Amino acid sequence: MQGRLCRGHLPGLGVKINALPSRKATARLDLLRQELLAPILSIEGHAELLNEQLDDQDCLADLEKILTAVTLTRSLVDEMLDAETRQRDDAERDDQRSRYKHDLRNSVGAISGYTEIIMEELEDADGLSKDIQTYLNHQMDDSRKLLKMLDTLFRSEREFGEDSEAGLNVDISSVFESFARADQEKTRAISGRILVVDDNDSNRNLLAHQLHRQGHEISTAPSGRQALKMIRESRPDLILLDLFMPDMNGFDVLQEMHADEALRAVPVIIITGLNDKDAAVKCIEAGAFDLLIKPVNPSLLGARVIACLERKAWHDKEQAYQRQLEKSYTFIRKVFGRYLSDEVVKKILESDDGMQMGGGKQVVTIMMTDIRGFSMLSQELDPQDCVKILNNYFGIMTPLIQKYDGVIDEFLGDAILAIFGAPVVSTNHAEQAVACAIEMQKAMALVNRTSREWGLPSIEMGIALNTGEVVVGNIGSETRSKFGVVGHHVNLTARVESFTVGGQVMASEFTVNALGPEVTIAQSLEVEAKGIKERVTIHEITAIGAPYNLRLDEPEQILEPLRQELPLSFRRVTGKAIADESVDGFLTAANEGTAQLATLADLEVMTNLRMNIPGYPGAENDQIFSKVTASLGRQNGKNQYIIKLTSATLEARRYINSLMLQK
């Protein structure tokens, strides 16, 4: 009766033979088998657990009987379900079923019966531990479950496979509908380069042809060693590897691949006739992607191969992405590393919103520094010496700015433009900037010491600070851009800078208002900055409190009285314009670039003066500029002012110094 594919009536016999099961029916039977197997396996498992726990010889003997009954049950279920797939008529079916029903009820009855016996015996002997009780209860539950399933099954009037009511909790149809949908949607056609490794020619050729037909590019190797050579040379996308080969077996190949970093990522599917589950485990532990037992169904192989190739493709993509990410990081580090300390760069790379890169408005503190009179100095010094002084100066100032989380935006000749509070957003940029400025001023002593050692002149720096909203971003064009700031407050900072003299830290009211810590303000001025409507108050800061605790040492402001008063004349300078009116005055005392001026004229603090010193040995049109930094009031009928030389030739400085020295 087996295997004949005739349907409907068998000619001449007048008997209706039932059809072979459809695909769905076969699936249903498979699932039925699984369902029935579940409690059977559970009974088996618990019996094994009981075997470990029980001591009593009688109980162990009964347990053996249970195991025998389970084995019998299992083979009966298999046979019964197999019988369902065979062609038979209704009478035959009922007859067979009747037999199976009888035998199964007996065997399952034996399971529950002996379980009860064990329970009773242990109860009597007081040997019923909690675990044993649990296992025994499970046995009973499982056998009851099994019985119930079988009852439901045997009530069926039709073939089990055809009967959707026959004891299954699963909706078979929906799965098959999903399969059908997936078939319609199937678009992927992944192909790859596959290396087939098998010492047996027939096996190798068969696999090669099957896979080639499925669209892959195939290469073959008859031995493990050859395979490794080819893998190293051409790096295939996937290896199909036999286990048993003469010179180097598949497992060793696997291990060697896994040990080699370059080869580790190449997926390997082991195809072997060896049906040993420990071997399978070992191969997978050694790094095999999968293991298939010969003979391998070609469609199944094809599907596994595609799955494997897909996975590799994703792996490769991820690797490429990682490399890209590294590149970006390196780029960012390089670009910003010049402006930012490592810490800040790290912060930018790590944070999501700590960085405002593209054209945003932000409140920042802007620092502008300027070396007083450097332009004049640069004309008088050798270019090399000029650069020497500058680089030494920058070399000392740059780390200080970075220390306070500032970003150097630009070196403009001898000036530094630095930003605090961008691109890494921070709330304490104002105080960081102030503290930084004070430390920078203190560091000038170091700068000048080095200059003196080189036999080069000292320099003085003025620092201006301002706080406000600016536009922050990548400024420039595609081919050339930089991180920059634009805005009214940038200009204001420049204006504040114009009011500073060497050694000063001048901060706008906006910066001072934004401060947390206390600061010591030496003097404040209301100034009208060119191009800006309102008057702005600027403050000279000489110290900042906790947590920084920095103070500018007061420079020796003791002015040595000149042996002889030095008469001179001067003109007021406003912007670039020098006033026509020449005013007379006297220098009465001096010290290094600072002097006391006595004059009848009324001068405002911060006024720039162009000086004309008679007796000055230098050229006529040498420009000597100074700034009125303080008013001392009236003395001897004249107004007394402190002036600071802001721009003077070396000659002029030496001359004034020489006057001082003459005692």
Partner 1 sequence: MTKILIVEDNEMNRDMLSRRLKRKGYEVEVAIDGQQGVEIAGALMPDVVLMDMSLPVMDGWAATKTLRRNEKTAALKIIALTAHAMDGDRQKAMQAGCDDYDTKPIDLARLLGKIEALIQ
Q: What is the CA angle 436-543-364, rounded to 5?
A: 40
Nearer Cβ to partner 1, position 65 or 638?
65
Residue 270 phi, psi (nearest 5): -85, 130
Q: What is the CA angle 365-347-392, rounded to 5?
A: 60
The stretch among 102-110, 213-221, 380-388, 425-433 that binds partner 1 (CB under 8 A) is: 102-110
Nearer Cβ to partner 1, position 68 or 623?
68
CB 485 within 8 A of CB 419: yes
The stretch among 65-73, 423-431, 436-444, 593-601 that binds partner 1 (CB under 8 A) is: 65-73
Nearer Cβ to partner 1, position 45 or 113?
113
Count CA atoms within 13 Å of residue 508 on its CB side: 29
Strand partners, 620: none
Closest by alpha carbon to 546, among 591, 515, 580? 515
**Local structure of 240: helix, strand or coil:** strand
Instruction: Tell the smallest beta-carbon distance from residue 128 to partner 1 (Å).
Output: 16
The stretch among 109-117, 243-251, 308-316, 643-651 that binds partner 1 (CB under 8 A) is: 109-117
Nearer Cβ to partner 1, position 64 or 382?
64
**Binds partner 1 (CB under 8 A): choice among 54, 59, 108, 245:** 108
Residue 506 to residues 184, 421, 522, 542, 543: CA-CA distances in angstroms?
76, 19, 10, 9, 12
137-176 mask for partner 1 (x: CB under 8 A)? ------x---x---x-------------------------
- For residue 74, give the amino acid letter: R
- For residue 436, give the amino acid letter: C
CB atoms within 10 A of CB 587: 24
Q: What is the CA radius of gyration of the chain?
A: 48
**Binds partner 1 (CB under 8 A): choice among 26, 53, 68, 623:** 68
Number of amino acids touching partner 1 (CB under 8 A) = 22
Instruction: Tell the smallest beta-carbon distance from residue 5 to partner 1 (Å).
Output: 34
Residue 73 near partner 1 by CB under 8 A: no
Residue 191 near partner 1 by CB under 8 A: no
State how far Cα 403 lies from the chain centre: 25
Nearer Cβ to partner 1, position 82 or 151?
151
Nearer Cβ to partner 1, position 66 or 434?
66
Nearer Cβ to partner 1, position 64 or 78?
64
Closest by alpha carbon to 3, among 81, 78, 74, 82? 82
Nearer Cβ to partner 1, position 100 or 625?
100
State how far Cα 415 lies from the chain centre: 37
Measure the CA–CA gap between 163 and 146, rounded to whole angstroms.
19
Instruction: Tell the smallest beta-carbon distance from residue 258 to partner 1 (Å).
Output: 52
113-142 mask for partner 1 (x: CB under 8 A)? xx-xx--x----------------------
**Binds partner 1 (CB under 8 A): choice among 18, 112, 362, 498:** 112
Instruction: Tell the smallest beta-carbon distance from residue 83 to partner 1 (Å).
Output: 18
**Binds partner 1 (CB under 8 A): choice among 75, 109, 157, 564:** 109
CB 394 within 8 A of CB 402: no
**Binds partner 1 (CB under 8 A): choice among 24, 86, 105, 258:** 105
Residue 294 near partner 1 by CB under 8 A: no
Q: By CB under 8 A, what part of segment 82-101 binds partner 1? A: 98, 101
Measure the CA–CA gap between 464 and 504, rounded to whole angstroms.
8
**Binds partner 1 (CB under 8 A): choice among 24, 65, 193, 258:** 65
Helix (H), strand (E) at residue 611: strand 608-612
Measure the CA–CA gap between 306 and 267, rounded to whole angstroms.
12
The stretch among 103-111, 396-404, 524-532, 640-648 that binds partner 1 (CB under 8 A) is: 103-111
Nearer Cβ to partner 1, position 105 or 488?
105
Tokens of 99: 């037999």
Q: Which residues contact 252 (CB under 8 A, 6 or more apart)?
A: 224
Helix ranges, 288-341 (H)? 298-337
Residue 583 to residues 126, 498, 635: CA-CA distances in angstroms?
124, 23, 18
**Binds partner 1 (CB under 8 A): choice among 102, 232, 323, 634:** 102
Residue 457 near partner 1 by CB under 8 A: no
Residue 308 to residues 265, 314, 441: CA-CA distances in angstroms?
12, 10, 66
Count CA atoms within 13 Å of residue 642 on its CB side: 13
Nearer Cβ to partner 1, position 16 or 102?
102
Instruction: Tell the smallest beta-carbon distance from residue 105 to partner 1 (Å).
Output: 4
Instruction: Tell the smallest beta-carbon distance from residue 103 to partner 1 (Å).
Output: 8
Residues that bind partner 1 (CB under 8 A): 65, 68-69, 98, 101-103, 105-110, 112-114, 116-117, 120, 143, 147, 151
